[in-house]
Amino acid sequence: MFIFSQLMKNMNHSLFVLLCLLWCLNDDSCHAIKTAMNDTHIPDIPTPNMVRDFSSSIKNCIIKCSVSSVTQANLLWYNGSGVYTSLKITDLNTRLYLEVDYQDKNNYSCVVSSSCANVTLHLNITKLCQQPCSDNISTLMPVSEGESFTLSTNLTKLQDNDFITWYYINKWIAQLHGNKTEYKLNDRFNNRLQLDINTGALTITNTSKIHSGLYKLLITNGAHQKCLNYNVTVYDRLPSPIITNDSTQCSSENLKCVVMCSVNVTHMTLSWYNGSRLHSSINVSDLKRSNFLCLVIEYQDNNTYSCVVNNSFTNKTTQLNKSALCNDHSQPSNYTDIKIGASVGGVVAFIVFVGLVCCCYNKKFPCQKDTSEDQQVANTPGQANADDSADQEQTSSTSAQNNAGAGTSGNNPEEDTPLIDQPSSSSPPQESVPFKQLCCK
C-alpha cells in the first residue's frame, strides 16, 4: 500500500490530464477539468471562417472553410447530418473547399471538431453564392490573328481592397490583388497574358484562333461584386488583295481590259470600287465559294479602281495599276494586226485623197507649162516653123493677086491649090515626169 501511494503521488501531471481528456464527453466536461486542474495548455476551439473563393472557377460556387491557430483537430463539411468531406488539421492554417451549384438547396455546414469540442458554421448559399456573371450579356470583341487585344475593366484606378479575377470559359487565368499578380500557366496562354496593376485590364498578345471564346471579369471588394463579359472571336489575318490580268477565271471581252482580284481567306467581303463608289462585291464565307472577283473596263477608262477585302472590323485595299495591267500587251493577239492594217489603210486613203484633189484642181484650173522647158525642147524647129508661116503668108498673098488676075485671063486648076507644108507626124520621145508634176500632167 505504501508503494502504491508513492506511485500515485509521483504520477506525471500531463499523463493525468491526458487520461481526463479521454474521458471528456462535452465542452462542459473539458472546461470543468481545465478549471479543476488549472491547466492553460488546452486551447479554445475557434469558429471557422467561411468565404467564397473566386480563384478556381466561376461556373459554380466554391466556398472555402478555414481555421487557424489550432492543431490536433478535424475540419469537416456536412451535408445535413452526414459528413460530405473532411480534413485532418496538421498545421496552423488549414482550409477545406466545397463546390456547389448556384441552385443547390441542401443544408451545408462547416465543423471544427476536436476531442473536447465541436464548432459549427452553417452555409447560406443564397447570400454567399450570388451568381456574378451572366452569359447573355457580353461585349463582342473581333480580333485579327497574330495581333494583341486588351480587355478593359472600365476603371481608372483600382481600390485597395479590389480583387481582380479574369476567367476564360469559366476557368481563372489571371488574378490581381494589390500589387500582386498571378497567372495560371497553361499551353493556351503561356507568356501571352499581361495585367495592368493600376486598372486591372488584361492584354493577350500574339493571338491565334484558340483564343476565341468567352472571357469574364469579376471584381470583388468585400460584399460588392462587378462583372463584365467579353465574347472574343479571332479571325484570319487579312492579306492585301492581289490584282492580275490573268482572265482565265473571268469571261474575257475583245478590246476591253479584264482583270481579276483575289484573296486567300474566308469570312470576308471582296469588292471592286470605282473611286469611292461600290462597283461590285461578293461574300466569301468558306473555301467552297470563289474567292476572286473580275473587273471589265474600257482601255480608255480614266477612272480610279481599287480592290478591297474587309471583315467586320478591318480591311485591306489594293489600287489597280492600269498602266501595267491595261496596256496593249493585254489586248487580244489580233489587235496589233488590226492597228497596223488601220494605219496602212489610212496612209493609202490619204494618198488617194490628195490625188483626187489635184485632179479636180487641174480640171478647173489647167496647169501652165514651163516656158523654159518648151524652149529647151524645140528651139530650132520653132524657128523653121516661124519662117514657114511667113512664107505661107507671102504665098497666100501672091496667090490672091494671081487669082484676081486670073479672073480676067482664065481659070487654072493647079494654080488654084495653094502649096501648104504638112506638119511632121513624128514627135519627140516622152520623158519621166517628176512626182510633184503628177497632178499637172
Q: Are residues 206 and 272 in the same domain?
A: no
Answer yes or no: is 28 within a domain.
no
User: Is 24 inside a domain boundary?
Assistant: no
Check whether 319 has a pLDDT greater than 90: yes
pLDDT of 280 above 50: yes
**Domain end point (choices 308, 330, 352):** 330
| Nearest-angstrom CA–CA distance, 168 and 214 | 6
* Residues 121 and 146 reside in one and the same domain: no
pLDDT at 136: 67
Judged by average pLDDT, the poorest of 72-76, 172-176, 280-284, 358-362 is 358-362
Please report the DSSP string for 404-423 in residue order: HHHHHH---HHHHS---PPP
Residue whose C-alpha cell is 493647079: 414
Predicted pLDDT at 174: 93
**Same domain for 274 and 319:** yes
Question: What is the Cα–Cα distance from 441 to 439, expressed in whole angstroms?
Answer: 6
Measured between alpha carbons, how far is 124 from 98 in angstroms, rounded to an integer? 13
351 located within any domain: no
Asked if residue 300 and residue 269 are part of one domain, the reply reads yes
pLDDT cut 70: percent of the chain above it: 63
- Residue 218: all three cell numbers together: 469579376
How far is C-alpha 366 from the geometric centre of its chain's CA atoms?
A: 79
Q: Decide: residue 380, CB within 10 A, 0-12 exposed, 13-18 middle, 19+ buried.
A: exposed
Specify the pTM.
Answer: 0.52
pLDDT higher than 60, residue 1:
no
Q: Are residues 254 and 319 in the same domain?
A: yes
**Cα–Cα distance measured from residue 405 to residue 155, given in angstroms and rounded to the nearest whole number:** 153
Instruction: Give Cα separations from 307 to 258, 262, 276, 326, 349 (angstroms).
Output: 14, 9, 11, 15, 45
Residue 435 pLDDT more than 70? no
| Poorest-pLDDT segment among 29-38, 65-74, 76-85, 161-170 | 29-38
In the chain, what is the straight-line distance between the N-terminal and C-terminal CA atoms, in Å?
Answer: 179
Q: Roughly what angle, to the nearest 10 degrees, separates helices 13-22 and 27-37?
A: 160
Sequence-separated (6 or more) residues with CB below 8 Å from residue 201 = 150, 151, 152, 153, 195
pLDDT classification of 407: cutoffs 50, 70, 90:
very low
With H, G, I as helix, E, B as strand and everything else as coil, classify residue 406.
helix
**Same structural domain, 221 and 149:** yes
**Cβ neighbours of residue 338 under 8 Å, at least 6 residues apart?**
none
Q: Are residues 92 and 148 in the same domain?
A: no
Q: If we measure between CA atoms, which residue out of 291, 251, 249, 253 comes closest to residue 270?
A: 291
HSE value, Cβ hemisphere, 13 Å, CA-based, for 113 = 13
Domain-embedded: residue 381: no
Cα dist. 418→15, 272, 391, 400, 403 in Å? 196, 102, 12, 10, 11
Final residue of a domain: which of 128, 158, 175? 128
Does some domain include residue 170?
yes
- The pLDDT of residue 232: 95
pLDDT in tens, 334-349: 444 445 555 666 777 7
Could you tell me the three cell numbers for 373?
Answer: 522647158
312 closest CA partner among 211, 210, 233 = 233
Strands 257-262 and 242-244: antiparallel
The Cα 104–Cα 434 span in angstroms is 120
Q: How many domains does the chain have?
A: 3
Domain boundary among 195, 217, 235: 235
Residue 408 lies in a domain: no
Residue 156: all three cell numbers together: 481608372
Whether residue 192 is predicted with pLDDT greater than 50 in this model: the reply is yes
Task: Say if residue 197's pLDDT is above 50.
Answer: yes
Q: What is the CATH number of the domain that holds 105?
A: 2.60.40.10
Same domain, 255 and 227: no
> CA 239, CA 284: separation in Å to the nearest integer?
14
> Nine-digit cell at 350?
490619204
Same domain, 248 and 221: no
| Same-domain pairing of 256 and 286 | yes
Task: Give the up-direction half-sphere exposure of residue 403: CA atoms within 13 A in the CB hemisphere.
Answer: 12
pLDDT tens for 21-58 read: 444 444 444 544 444 444 444 557 888 888 888 776 77
Q: Identify whether the C-beta of residue 269 lies closer than 8 Å to the C-beta of residue 283.
A: yes
C-alpha distances (whole Å) from 342 to each of 329, 330, 346 are 18, 19, 6
The rounded distance, in Å, linking the Cα atoms of 122 and 118 is: 13
CATH of the domain at 311: 2.60.40
H helix runs in 38-99, sequence order: none
**How many beta carbons lie within 10 A of that of residue 402, not counting itself?**
14
Domain-located, residue 230: yes
Does 144 lie in the same domain as 230? yes
- Same domain? For 250 and 324 the reply is yes
* Amino acid 110: pLDDT: 93
> What span, in angstroms and rounded, lies between the C-alpha atoms of 388 and 396?
12
For residue 345, the model assigns a pLDDT of 66
Classify residue 8: in a domain, yes or no: no
Domain span including residue 198 = 139-235
Are 266 and 284 in contact by the 8 Å Cβ rule? The answer is yes
Contact between 169 and 221 under an 8 Å Cβ cutoff? The reply is no
Q: At 407, is the secondary structure helix, strand, or coil? A: helix
- Specify the pairing of strand 315-319 against strand 305-310: antiparallel
